[in-house]
């Protein structure tokens, strides 16, 4: 066993995985979003390792969560849409921890009396009528078109929803035992008018990026990492931090060494997918600060540099000066899709 595995096996930490539905990664305390009121997340992040460039594997609630729980992309685990369950026989993080002797816990209140070691999986979702932030004070992202109707009001409602989720997060953190492993993330982001779109399941940063913070006192120091991370990486990383072996067929990467001290190998790229099984199916790959998006056949849809163009307002896929970069990223995404068994057209 590695030193990390020996340490985790000795400690047998309680594990709390918190998934906040639809909380986008561009709206976090560490992204300096002045519209956001989330004191509980800010306090949690201050004692955690924050990954500032984390992405949903498939930015729609059902597929995004399926990737987190299985460590496998939806095109493999079968949960390609919100209403589609996991394929029969899919192994989950909870099942793997149960095999390792963990007790499953349902709900925030149950954690208080749970027998250690336990695994709690919490989904935070805002009520039907959330709080509403003051619309007049809302700052609108530069990529929200002026003609997009009710943008300010929609954003105010969204930030009110995040405030409700933050209240729930506070209750969950208060119930979680000290010293355990707590992971906070989301299944997907949301456009809220960016690029003139009101939904999710898109390769834009507003949809695809998600928050990720991992707190494990005595094992993971507080700090920040700009490593490229995917939702599929959480299952193998959590298992490693608990001293458990990743199950067969897992596609995510174990980032436990990176989280513990920055000495682990940094992922070179991150991939996401969406709208599987429809004519609008897409794939996205980010390498460094460059992003490419393609359709299911591999035809290029977009090329962006997130350093020069963080709001993705200039698609350079047809720019002759970018041909070498386009060829490079096209080769990388083809190789990544092959590695992830992503070969087939699905419509």
Per-residue pLDDT, 131: 67
Rounded CA separation 184/200 (Å): 20
Same domain, 292 and 242: no
By the 8 A CB rule, do 100 and 244 touch?
yes
Same domain, 104 and 185: yes
Rounded CA separation 48/187 (Å): 19
Same domain, 285 and 257: no
Same domain, 68 and 205: yes
| Domain membership flag for residue 272 | no
Same domain, 297 and 251: no
Per-residue pLDDT, 34: 93
| Domain membership flag for residue 271 | no
Rounded CA separation 5/241 (Å): 7
Rounded CA separation 258/267 (Å): 10
Same domain, 293 and 184: no
Does the pLDDT at position 3 exceed 90? no
Domain boundary among 211, 239, 266: 266
Same domain, 257 and 294: no
Rounded CA separation 65/106 (Å): 16
What are the tens digits of pLDDT across the range 276-328? 999 999 999 999 999 999 999 999 999 999 999 999 999 999 999 999 999 99
Instruction: Copy the structure tokens of residue 93.
Output: 């993080």
Per-residue pLDDT, 11: 65
User: Quick one: what percent of the chain has pLDDT higher than 90?
Assistant: 88
Does the pLDDT at position 23 exceed 90? yes
Where do runs of H (alpha helix) occur along 203-304? Answer: 205-208, 234-241, 256-261
| Domain membership flag for residue 247 | yes
What range does the domain containing 302 cover?
277-347
Number of domains, the chain: 2
| Domain membership flag for residue 188 | yes
What are the tens digits of pLDDT across the range 108-160? 999 999 999 999 999 999 876 666 667 778 999 999 999 998 999 999 999 99
Per-residue pLDDT, 136: 77
What are the tens digits of pLDDT across the range 244-266? 999 999 999 999 999 988 667 89
Same domain, 88 and 216: yes
Determine the angle formed by the axes of helices 3-11 and 234-241, rounding to 10 degrees.
70
Where do runs of H (alpha helix) occur along the chain? Answer: 3-11, 39-46, 61-70, 74-77, 93-99, 110-113, 151-175, 205-208, 234-241, 256-261, 323-339
What are the tens digits of pLDDT across the range 34-51? 999 999 999 999 999 999
């Amino acid at each position: 066993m590695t030193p990390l595995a020996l340490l985790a096996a000795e400690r047998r930490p309680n594990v709390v995985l918190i998934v906040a539905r639809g909380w986008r990664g561009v709206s976090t305390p560490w992204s300096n979003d002045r519209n956001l009121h989330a004191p509980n997340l800010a306090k949690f992040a201050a004692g955690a390792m924050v990954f500032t460039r984390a992405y949903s594997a498939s930015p729609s609630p059902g597929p995004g969560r399926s990737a987190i729980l299985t460590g496998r992309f939806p095109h493999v685990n079968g949960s390609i849409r919100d209403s589609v369950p996991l394929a029969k026989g899919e192994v989950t993080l909870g099942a793997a921890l149960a095999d390792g002797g963990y007790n499953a816990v349902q709900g925030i209140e149950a954690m208080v009396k749970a027998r250690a070691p336990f695994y709690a999986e919490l989904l935070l979702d805002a009520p039907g009528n959330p709080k509403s932030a003051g619309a007049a004070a809302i700052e609108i992202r530069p990529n929200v078109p002026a003609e997009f109707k009710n943008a300010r009001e929609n954003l105010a409602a969204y930030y009110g929803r995040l405030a409700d989720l933050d209240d729930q997060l506070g209750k969950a953190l208060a119930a979680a035992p000290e010293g355990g492993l707590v992971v906070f993330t989301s299944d997907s982001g949301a456009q809220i008018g960016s690029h003139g779109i009101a939904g999710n399941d898109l390769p834009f940063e507003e949809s695809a990026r998600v928050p990720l913070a991992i707190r494990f006192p005595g094992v993971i120091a507080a700090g920040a990492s700009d490593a490229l991370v995917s939702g599929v990486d959480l299952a193998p990383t959590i298992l490693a931090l608990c001293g458990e072996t990743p199950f067969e067929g897992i596609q995510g990467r174990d980032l436990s060494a990176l989280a513990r001290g920055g000495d682990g190998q940094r992922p070179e790229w991150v991939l996401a997918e969406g709208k599987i099984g429809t004519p609008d199916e897409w794939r996205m790959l980010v390498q460094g600060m460059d992003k490419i998006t393609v359709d299911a056949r591999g035809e290029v849809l977009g090329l962006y540099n997130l350093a020069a163009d963080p709001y993705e307002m200039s698609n350079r896929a047809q720019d002759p000066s970018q041909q070498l970069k386009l060829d490079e990223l096209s080769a990388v995404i083809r190789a990544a899709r092959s590695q992830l068994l992503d070969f087939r057209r699905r419509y």
